[in-house]
């Protein structure tokens, strides 16, 4: 056992020689955004928490972003590195969205979710049970509750999002941005993809330090488009627009499932692993941060965190979002821009209901029905078929 990695875990040898960390109220496995938020808020609420991750202090590298109105108030100001008041999309035409969007400052978020008072253990969980976690080094953690926040690992059976991005100085990115200043989704076909190829879009987001992330993104695929293909498309698109990226760029490679693993488990989960990821967008960070206090409340009151996360309206929304995912996977590639044109023509409140309100069944149904009525007939058929296949 490597005691140097044990910052405050309080390990002691058990009778059989294994190290034992006993009886915290809560053991959190995984310190991504979900696990760290949970450990932080639970400790703040007075629970005795042990948290385990192979690299507990490693900074998060993905560029996390969210709609600003999704973030919970307790986070306070200062966790965003950039905000765009009116992000733009190019579907069949350019348009601005009346909903502020922000890129998270990972370091600031890490600090905000400080683990003061949490016993942090550096280690890899080999087995995770409802009340016990066994680490690879033999350490055993026995806890009142265990919450599995290990995220999602790639799985060929699952739909996934893939993307390839580069971070360039804002001046170099300018020709790709035009007057919009930011593209939340740019579906123009200047990326050398054939009309019937699976489509990808450009995500072009200012990062707040005079740099811009230019990312060719496959929203969902089963499997997602390979990263090499996305890299070629990004190169082609940037060449067409006259962008000359400088050498030695920071690169972002994205590949993660947008739906949870299918194997059932009795262990309560949180974050992407718990299904808090939106299958139609791949976003989970804001939903997770918003849900954390409900889970802490359940832990304190002794109720089941899964029941708190998944009341029946949330389960209905989950099914409806899965219908949406099926529709996206089945869409005729040539019609994808028209589909998103109809989506972004919805009143912003309807967009928000579909994208962000994970327990608002009437709002989600309203958004989907409105969309169904307004898309062109061939797309309507695809949506109807998705609904029939996934009730
Ligand atoms: C490049 C990229 C960009 C993204 N952008 C966005 C975005 O803009 N907005 C958004 O909402 N989502 C985004 N996502 C999706 C995002 O990954 C997830 O939504 C988010 O990271 C999920 O957080 P999580 O804490 O649930 O899981 P993770 O971030 O996957 O964290 C899981 C943690 O568990 C630990 N762990 C794994 N196995 C073990 C084990 N056996 N024992 C102990 N610990 C373990 C890992 O070390 C890790 O720290 C992006 C993903 C990528 C890859």
Can you tell me the distance from the alpha carbon of 318 to that of 359, in angstroms, rounded to the nearest whole number?
9
Residue 390: the pLDDT is: 61
Can you tell me the distance from the alpha carbon of 9 to that of 321, in angstroms, rounded to the nearest whole number?
40
Q: Is the CB of 313 under 6 A from ligand 1?
A: no
Q: Is the CB of 221 under 6 A from ligand 1?
A: no
Q: Is the CB of 87 under 6 A from ligand 1?
A: no
Q: How far is the CA of 164 from the centre of ligand 1 (A)?
A: 17
Q: Is the CB of 122 under 6 A from ligand 1?
A: no
Q: Are 345 and 89 in contact (CB under 8 A)?
A: no
Ligand 1 atom 18, closest CA: 284
Q: Is the CB of 35 under 6 A from ligand 1?
A: yes
Q: Are 162 and 227 in contact (CB under 8 A)?
A: yes
* Interacting residues of 342 by C-beta distance below 8 A, sequence separation 6+: 371, 374, 375, 376, 379
Q: How far is the CA of 149 from the centre of ligand 1 (A)?
A: 9
Q: Is the CB of 63 under 6 A from ligand 1?
A: yes
Q: Which residues of the chain have pLDDT under 70?
A: 1-17, 390-391
pLDDT tens profile 357-373: 999 999 999 999 999 99
* Interacting residues of 127 by C-beta distance below 8 A, sequence separation 6+: 133, 134
Residue 3: the pLDDT is: 34
Q: Is the CB of 284 under 6 A from ligand 1?
A: yes
Ligand 1 atom 2, closest CA: 62
Atom nearest to 152 CA in ligand 1: 30
Q: Is the CB of 52 under 6 A from ligand 1?
A: yes
Atom nearest to 272 CA in ligand 1: 26
Ligand 1 atom 46, closest CA: 30
Query: What's the CATH class of domain 160-257?
Result: alpha beta
Residue 248: the pLDDT is: 82
Ligand 1 atom 7, closest CA: 64
Atom nearest to 252 CA in ligand 1: 1
> At 37, which helix (H) or strand (E)?
helix 33-44
Residue 21: the pLDDT is: 78
Q: Is the CB of 101 under 6 A from ligand 1?
A: no
Can you tell me the distance from the alpha carbon of 27 to that of 51, in angstroms, rounded to the nearest whole number?
6
* Interacting residues of 85 by C-beta distance below 8 A, sequence separation 6+: 100
Ligand 1 atom 53, closest CA: 254
Query: What's the CATH class of domain 3-56+115-150+260-307?
Result: alpha beta
Q: Are 168 and 249 in contact (CB under 8 A)?
A: yes
Q: Is the CB of 54 under 6 A from ligand 1?
A: yes
* Interacting residues of 308 by C-beta distance below 8 A, sequence separation 6+: 294, 295, 297, 298
Q: Is the CB of 33 under 6 A from ligand 1?
A: yes
Residue 10: the pLDDT is: 63
**Length of the chain (residues):** 391
Q: Is the CB of 285 under 6 A from ligand 1?
A: yes
Q: Is the CB of 30 under 6 A from ligand 1?
A: yes
Domain ranges of the chain: 3-56+115-150+260-307, 160-257, 311-389
Q: Are 232 and 250 in contact (CB under 8 A)?
A: no
Atom nearest to 288 CA in ligand 1: 26
Beta bridge partners of 254: 163
Q: Of 58, 19, 53, which Cα lies nearest the Cα of 39?
A: 53
Q: What is this structure's pTM?
A: 0.95
Sheet of 26-29, strands arranged across: 119-122, 49-53, 26-29, 145-148, 268-269
Q: Is the CB of 272 under 6 A from ligand 1?
A: yes
């Amino acid at each position: 056992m490597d005691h140097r990695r044990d910052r405050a875990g309080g390990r002691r040898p058990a009778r059989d020689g294994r190290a034992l960390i006993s009886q915290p109220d809560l053991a959190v496995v995984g310190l991504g955004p979900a696990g760290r938020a949970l450990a932080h808020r639970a400790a703040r609420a007075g629970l005795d928490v042990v948290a385990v991750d192979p690299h507990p202090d490693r900074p998060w590298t993905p560029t996390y972003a969210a709609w600003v109105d999704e973030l919970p108030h307790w986070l306070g100001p200062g966790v965003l590195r950039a905000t765009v008041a009116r992000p733009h999309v190019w579907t069949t035409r350019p348009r601005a969205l009346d909903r502020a969007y922000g890129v998270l400052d990972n370091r600031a978020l890490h600090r905000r979710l400080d683990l003061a008072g949490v016993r942090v253990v550096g280690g890899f969980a080999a087995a995770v049970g409802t009340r016990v976690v066994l680490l690879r080094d033999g350490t055993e953690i026995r806890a009142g509750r265990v919450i599995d926040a290990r995220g999602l690992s790639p799985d060929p059976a699952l739909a996934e999002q893939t993307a390839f991005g580069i971070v360039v100085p804002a001046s170099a990115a300018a020709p790709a941005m035009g007057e919009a200043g930011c593209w939340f989704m740019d579906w123009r076909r200047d990326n050398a993809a054939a009309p019937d190829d699976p489509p990808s879009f450009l995500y072009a987001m200012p990062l707040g330090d005079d740099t811009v992330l230019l990312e060719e993104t496959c929203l969902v695929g089963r499997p997602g488009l390979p990263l090499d293909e996305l890299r070629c498309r990004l190169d082609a698109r940037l060449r067409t627009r006259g962008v000359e990226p400088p050498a030695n760029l920071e690169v972002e490679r994205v590949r993660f499932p947008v739906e949870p693993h299918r194997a059932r488990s009795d262990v309560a989960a949180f974050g992407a692993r718990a299904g808090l990821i939106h299958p139609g967008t791949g976003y989970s960070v804001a939903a997770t941060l918003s849900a954390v206090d409900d889970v802490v409340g359940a832990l304190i009151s002794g109720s089941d965190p899964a029941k708190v996360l998944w009341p029946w309206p949330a389960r209905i929304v989950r099914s409806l979002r899965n219908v949406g995912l099926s529709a996206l996977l089945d869409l005729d590639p040539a019609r994808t821009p028209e589909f998103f044109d109809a989506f972004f023509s919805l009143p912003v409140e309807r967009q928000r209901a579909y994208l962000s309100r994970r327990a608002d069944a009437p709002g989600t149904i309203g958004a989907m029905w409105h969309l169904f009525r307004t898309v062109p007939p061939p797309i309507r058929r695809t949506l109807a078929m998705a609904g029939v296949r996934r009730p």
